[in-house]
Amino acid sequence: MRTKFAGIAAAIGFFLATGTAIAHHSFAAEFDANRAVNLKGVVTKIEWMNPHTYFYLDVTEGDKVVNWGMEMGSPNGLMRQGWTRNTLKVGDQVSVEGSQAKDGSHVGNARVVILTATGKRLFAASSQDNPTQQQQR
């Protein structure tokens, strides 16, 4: 009886410990490298948290403004690339190179973020390979 209980407890512990790993997705599961985007806009929000950092920017598309959500790497991966929590601020003008979500929504995976004010080019710790096509927005 004890071994049965220990086995069940071990299985439950393993499941709980790997819950975040199971929920984590690969680049190819959510984004399409063939749907490359180049966006220019103003940062409206930054979420610096695991497993991915997100920032949002208002992009003018034709006569309307669309808010895009851009995924980057983990905070730790970004820090290894030279980022700090103060590198990107709400109100900053940026250009972003990356890939759009497979579902066509206004969500993307950022590969490179360029700060318009300084021209500084920052790599976003993305797992994306180089895209084969470019779309201007």
What total number of domains does the chain contain? 1
Range(s) of the domain holding residue 33: 26-123
Would 136 be classed as within a structural domain?
no
Check which CATH number belongs to the domain holding 33 and give it: 2.40.50.140
pTM: 0.72
More confident residue, 135 or 106: 106
Taking CB atoms within 8 Å and a gap of at least 24, the contacts of 66-69 are: 66/106, 67/106, 68/39, 68/41, 68/96, 68/106, 68/107, 68/108, 69/106, 69/107, 69/108
Would 2 be classed as within a structural domain?
no
Would 108 be classed as within a structural domain?
yes
pLDDT in tens, 59-113: 999 999 999 999 999 999 899 988 999 999 999 999 999 999 999 899 999 999 9
